[in-house]
Structure 1
Amino acid sequence: MSHLRATAARGLRRSGGRGALRRKGASPRGAAPAPAPAPPPSRHLFSDPAEIEALRGHLLAWYDKCKRDLPWRTLAATELDADRRAYAVWVSEIMLQQTQVATVIDYYNRWMQKWPTLQALAQASLEEVNELWAGLGYYSRGKRLQEAARKVVSELAGQMPRTAEDLQKLLPGVGRYTAGAIASISYGQATGVVDGNVIRVLCRMRCIGADSSSPAVVERLWDMANALVDRSRPGDFNQALMELGATVCVPKAPLCGECPLKQHCQAQRRVEKELAFASQKLFGKRAPVSDVEDCGLLAGLWEFPSLPLAQGLQEEKQREVLADHLQAWTGRPVAAGGLRFIGEVVHIFSHIHQTYVVYSLSLDGDVTLDPALSPSRWVTEEEFHASAVSTAMKKVLKAHEKQRGEESSPGKGSKRKRGAKLQGANSTCPGTQLSLRAFLRAPKSP
């Protein structure tokens, strides 16, 4: 699939340049403070009870057949004492932080053989703990685990907290994810979990392209995980979701053909649509394909003024289309010749590669944004970084700042060849798709 989207960016000054942002999917407003983010489109959510029930069944059936045989899973399934069961799960979750499963197995077996209960661990010395932990890395994990075990023994009468809320509140070193994992696997509490694997699976299934590290998106993913978790088998469901991300829905080259949830996956449908589009192009046919960025959970996020462009559009025509768009947006004349090409920024989401073609535009005087035309506002660079913006928009601004730095450095040319790629750290492909505009202006004169 090929899309272009143009972005206009205007010169910023380090001391207080201001830029125009607009909210994706927001209702019109003026320069008032930004309202709470609007709910995402339904396609980014699981709202059909029948689909949720089917998804649970497909995932659990796959897990029962394909799950890996891991020692902590065996203990969780066979241990009858709730406290010992929770302890066994807890140790595994702490060890698995920042460490691969294959490495953890031997350490876990040795640990549980030496300290099979909370009471046994509480009586051990820190030197013993560090000695067994040697080679596993991040030694503070073992230290916090023992400290928490001692607290359970001395302050909680040896009984582990029974809910995710209490586990997180009462045990040092236990965060939201670990608490959810212990509570669902050990006690059957119907609470979801969100870790890196789960984030990837959920984002692909609902075609969420926004920055998955932003607090707003993470909170939405927690809501989604809590809505999806199977009420009768919450622990197995959560482990299945994590297992899927670890073995099938992997970061690179996911095994989509083997995925039990492919019929529920919006990203898979997107890929099929792109393949159909590419096939049609071979025969000279063009079918409309919606904007890739609209596949992201971008409602409520801010973006630079942007415009999708037809594939193959020449630069001169791009400038004309962009100038017309900006003229309508600002309510003042914008000459195509005043747009300056910055470069192309590649952003990757799942299977989709987007290209943002970035232009700059300098404006003289004050420009008042009409809220009736677009829900926009001016922001400083500091306000930009504090706003809810996608990773792609951060890359666009970085491209502009890079050129500005080159222009201010003696001995470096200011011209950039058309088509030069300004790729992010995780960009690997030079594909051509979307482009946007950073529309920025200098501060008012004192």
Structure 2
Amino acid sequence: PSSYHFFHDPTEISLFRSHLLQWYDQNKRELPWRTLVKIMLQQTQVATVIDYYNRWMKRWSTVEKLAAATLEEVNQMWAGLGYYSRGRRLHEGAQKVVSELDGQMPKTTAGLLKQLPGVGRYTAGAISSIALGQVTLFFDGNVIRVLCRVRAIGANGTSPVVTDALWTISDTLVDPERPGDFNQAMMELGARVCTPKSPLCSQCPVQNHCHAFRKVLIKQKTDSKRLLGKLVSKLNTSVPDIENCLVASSCDLCLSEDWDPQLGVQNYPRKPVKKAPRVEQTLTCIVERQRAGEEMEYLLTQRPSKGLLAGMWELPSMLLEADVSENKYKDMICDMMQKLLETSIDARAVQFVGEVVHIFSHIHQTYMVFSVHGSDWSEGEQEQKTCWLTKSALQGAAVSTGVKKVECVFSWVSQQSQTSQCCKLKLLKIVCVYKKNLKKWKKNESVFVTEYFQCTLF
């Protein structure tokens, strides 16, 4: 790759550090964490993590307390945060630190990578720089975006060639006196100023070091000359001449397509076309029982210890094959209940509730929801682990957001059926988009449900 995409001038490097850290000292947010949160924050927004972090630290304030917890307790605490393998790996790491490392965390990036399960280059860099003061950079999406714009790197930000280039840049750029603060400043800059859309370039402390920003200014200057026939003398920022990549046509770091003046600095980095999420349908049954004088309970089963939502609890479910017809759904549920409860159920007792769509990062999941009610059911002698939970207990259990959506939908439908004796409700479809509506969902479940129901009275 061309030297255009790297830092070489010691003076520029020093100024970049100084400008960034001065801005950070004046503008940083007071966030209640240092190391644990870096694992929580992978693929998750800050606002979502804060509450989880506070509850986590209140319960497990030391690595010894976390190591003594059960995986079930960890999953329960992590429920709703997503990417559940992160919680499991934290738990495994704590157990290894206590049982094999005498309660002492590894003190180097290499040690973290080698000795702790699930710790990759990103997490190791975060812990090393912030907690241990080592001179190393780590990359989240914010940092990658900042560096790609500063050095006009237009290739796919996650490609190996870009990753290698960013690590090379980091080796020269990280402030040796304040490596932890430098890394947090880079993240803060990307989160608040150098944002994916509508970046605030006029407020950026390192704009004078940014190739992308200079390119925008030069384009503005050129357009002004063309329109007015003369140099516009009053620009808010001086426009120094800059070099261009001399081997752009063959450079692996340059834009692979023409620079779009409408995008400005948002030309960098170009993101690859996302792979369409896998579409799946899952047959799900809400199995209720209510014993005399007791609260209503739901049957739950535990997922396998590996794979998606490993070890989490869910409503009895099975993945549907593409060629399964809808008229077989009730028979399949009866077979599933026979295995779980060792009880025969009449298909006529199985009631359709509706469809609930839940979006994972890589799966578009549609739950085909049915329900069945009984009184004296108990678990059979099946291999799959099961339990009965009340509605209130379900909300605090180690279950995914998708399960809570399904239960909330079922409760809403049941309530409407009970209060509308002269009407029959036909549930057409329920669309619950996890990423966009999680905050609203937690704040007010009833409002969320009514907004995403489409019902017909007849």
Q: Normalising by the residue count of structure 1, what TM-score does the alignment of the two structures yield? A: 0.54
Q: CA deviation at 1:192?
A: 1.3
- Name the residue aligned to 2:128: 183
Q: 1:346 to 1:233 in 2, by over 3 A?
A: closer
Q: 1:136 to 1:189 in 2, by over 3 A?
A: same
Q: CA deviation at 1:226?
A: 2.0
What letter is aligned with 1:68? R
1:266 aligns with 2:223: no
Q: 1:122 to 1:290 in 2, by over 3 A?
A: closer
Q: State whether residues 67 and 98 of structure 2, in contact with CA within 8 Å, keep that contact through their aligned partners in structure 1.
A: yes
- Name the residue aligned to 1:136: 81
Q: What number of residue pairs does the alignment pair up?
A: 265
One of 265, 269, 279 as aligned partner of 1:351: 265
One of 151, 159, 162 as aligned partner of 2:107: 162
* 1:2-24 Cα distance to aligned partner (Å, 9 max, x none): xxxxxxxxxxxxxxxxxxxxxxx
Q: CA deviation at 1:57?
A: 0.9
**In structure 1, what is the Cα distance between the partners aligned to 2:8 and 2:253?**
22
Q: 1:165 to 1:347 in 2, by over 3 A?
A: farther
Q: CA deviation at 1:205?
A: 0.8
Q: State whether residues 164 and 179 of structure 1, in contact with CA within 8 Å, keep that contact through their aligned partners in structure 2.
A: yes
- Name the residue aligned to 2:2: 40
One of 24, 41, 44 as aligned partner of 1:63: 24
* 1:123-172 Cα distance to aligned partner (Å, 9 max, x none): 00111111111111111111111011101111111110001111011111
User: Which structure would you say has the larger Rg?
Assistant: 2
Q: State whether residues 122 and 153 of structure 1, in contact with CA within 8 Å, keep that contact through their aligned partners in structure 2.
A: yes
**In structure 1, what is the Cα distance between the partners aligned to 2:260 and 2:13?**
34
- Name the residue aligned to 1:328: none
Percent same amino acid among aligned pairs? 55
Aligned-residue CA RMSD (Å) = 3.3
One of 208, 228, 249 as aligned partner of 2:173: 228
Q: CA deviation at 1:299?
A: 2.4
Q: State whether residues 109 and 124 of structure 2, in contact with CA within 8 Å, keep that contact through their aligned partners in structure 1.
A: yes
**In structure 2, what is the Cα distance between the partners aligned to 1:251 and 1:95?**
21
Q: 1:101 to 1:297 in 2, by over 3 A?
A: farther
Q: Normalising by the residue count of structure 2, what TM-score does the alignment of the two structures yield? A: 0.53
Query: Is there any run of 5+ residues in structure 1 with no aligned partner, and where?
Result: 1-38, 77-88, 309-344, 355-389, 396-446
What letter is aligned with 2:21? L
One of 126, 129, 133 as aligned partner of 2:71: 126
1:299 aligns with 2:251: yes
Q: State whether residues 208 and 297 of structure 1, in contact with CA within 8 Å, keep that contact through their aligned partners in structure 2.
A: no
Q: CA deviation at 1:294?
A: 6.2
Q: State whether residues 184 and 234 of structure 1, in contact with CA within 8 Å, keep that contact through their aligned partners in structure 2.
A: yes
Task: Answer 1 or 2: higher relative contact order, Cα 8 Å, separation at least 6.
Answer: 1
**In structure 2, what is the Cα distance between the partners aligned to 1:106 and 1:295?**
49
Q: 1:353 to 1:145 in 2, by over 3 A?
A: closer
What letter is aligned with 1:192? L
What letter is aligned with 2:136? T
- Name the residue aligned to 1:52: 13
